[in-house]
Amino acid sequence: MANDYDIHTTAGKIADLQARFDEATHAGSARAVEKQHARGKMTARERIGLLVDAGSFVEFDELARHRSTNFDMVSNRPYGDGVVTGYGTVDGRTICVFAQDFTVFGGSLGEVFGEKIVKLMDFALKTGVPLIGINDSGGARIQEGVVALGLYAEIFKRNVHASGVIPQISLVMGPCAGGAVYSPAITDFIVMVDQTSHMFITGPEVIKTVTGEDVEFEELGGARTHNTKSGVAHYMGHDETDAIEYVKALLSYLPSNNLDEVPSFPTESDLTQSTVDLALNKLIPDSANQPYEMKRVIETILDNGDFLEVQALFAPNIVVGFGRVEGHSVGVVANEPMQLAGTLDINASEKAARFVRTCDAFNIPVITLVDVPGFLPGTDQEWNGIIRRGAKLLYAYAEATVPLITVITRKAYGGAYDVMGSKHLGADINLAWPSAQIAVMGAQGAVNILYRKDLADAADAEARRAELITEYEDTFANPYIAAERGYIDAVIEPASTRAHITRALRALRNKRETLPPRKHGNIPL
């Protein structure tokens, strides 16, 4: 390193250190940085700067360099080795973060690169703080051989050990391919950026060679694909700033670790009915077949109507996300009658199950809003495993020990009634609106089965069917039979929903429940 200072003096040693820091900060070439910006992407350090509070970032291993001598690597040993790691604060709370630097070796993972991430993960777990991974990498560093694969597995193992202990959030802000995808896949949340993020196991060229399929990067593994089709991602940012802001918002609802208190901003709500509350009395249409927006209920019960939705573009027939009640974090799971009539299908079941388990892991109460006519019928659902995969949601609720509050707004039919946070699975408070219809099945299906012979013999089958449907609805399609048996704790006026939920959460704040001792359950994966 050429210099104009004497490293044999203290001043020279300090100057030498500063020069090394400067070299580490500008490890990527100016041309590489320019290309990164031209793609609409920030550099690793710019991303960290946007995520953490100003001046709070403390870097680890800034002067680390690879030790490889193959393929002339000895002549190219940039400081940092292509990944920036360290800790800082987000809204005053400590987090650990690593950012892969695409301007250095294409962000490829080698031995030292991997060791830096492993050290950071160990530090995050030891100190009990969230881990944010910013992924932008060409994959394993081929020049370093199998050692790269070994380090990937070391990272995966730590992702698994940290799961449910500290929040883990992955920002995918460029390519993330091959084995590299499995680290984000294990984390709690994946945030991608439209048009610049890509995740896939095998790329378009390999797919074409093996299967003959022609597919573009964006269609195969772009942000929109993983937010709408695969369900791999939890949010799609329209740019990198939007993606990072979402992560910061997400962190505000999560504790630093599973033993820490969930962030709260305690306020005492005025529980007198407002005009917004009273509007719920007119929300449910008189016709059971007419949809309505469940998000209006969600926004009414949450502080200021603020709701941070998770996986908004995937399985829209169920809505999940975070909000606050009296300043305390809550998770919300709600059927959406505007989409597939709110039925549960494979995607909705897995989406909600994953969310309930995340809330349970981090001690966040779950509010469930139910309007579900049943599971989506069809050979496609049956052959793709709705039995096994739908059971995941049942499992998630039955396993949860956090406060569980369920409100049935309209339909709750058959097995879907049981699955959606029923009293029988362990919900603490179960409420129903007068419009609730809690039954084994809908009136039409029930009448066709119960009165098959009667209808076959009727002179006017349709008129008789209509008469029997009305009779069935009057007798069974209501909340009162369930209330008589204690399956529903109270039938409430819709306008009083916010007050009932708020009081229930106050009562459940110190809930303690333990499950039977075991190594781990065997969820039907």
- Report, as residue numbers or ranges, the catalytic residues: 178-179, 415-416
* Rounded distance between C-alpha atoms, residue 466 and residue 477, angstroms: 15
Residue 368 in contact with residue 420, Cβ under 8 Å? yes
H or E stretch including 169?
A: strand 168-172
Q: In 10 A of CB 231, how many CB atoms?
A: 19
* Rounded distance between C-alpha atoms, residue 189 and residue 132, angstroms: 10
* Rounded distance between C-alpha atoms, residue 184 and residue 99, angstroms: 13
* Rounded distance between C-alpha atoms, residue 219 and residue 216, angstroms: 5
Q: Residue 127: name the closest of 247, 263, 259, 248 by CA.
A: 259
The per-residue DSSP string of 62-96 comes to TT------GGGGGG---TTTTEEEEEEEETTEEEE
Residue 77 in contact with residue 38, Cβ under 8 Å? no
Residue 442 in contact with residue 342, Cβ under 8 Å? no
Strands, E assignment, 14-64: 58-60
Residue 40 in contact with residue 174, Cβ under 8 Å? no
DSSP state, residue 222:
B
Sign of CA dihedral 348, 351, 353, 359: negative
Both tokens of 377, joined, read 């019928």
H or E stretch including 306?
A: none
H or E stretch including 429?
A: strand 429-432
Residue 497 in contact with residue 297, Cβ under 8 Å? yes
Alpha helix segments (H runs only) across 178-304: 182-186, 204-211, 217-221, 223-228, 240-253, 275-279, 295-301
Both tokens of 287, joined, read 């016709």
DSSP state, residue 129:
-
For residue 128, is it left (φ>0), alpha (ψ between -120 and 50) or beta?
left
* Rounded distance between C-alpha atoms, residue 204 and residue 476, angstroms: 55
Residue 226 in contact with residue 233, Cβ under 8 Å? yes
Sign of CA dihedral 328, 331, 335, 336: positive
Both tokens of 153, joined, read 């597995």
Q: CA dihedral defined by 412, 418, 420, 425, rounded to 10 degrees? A: 150
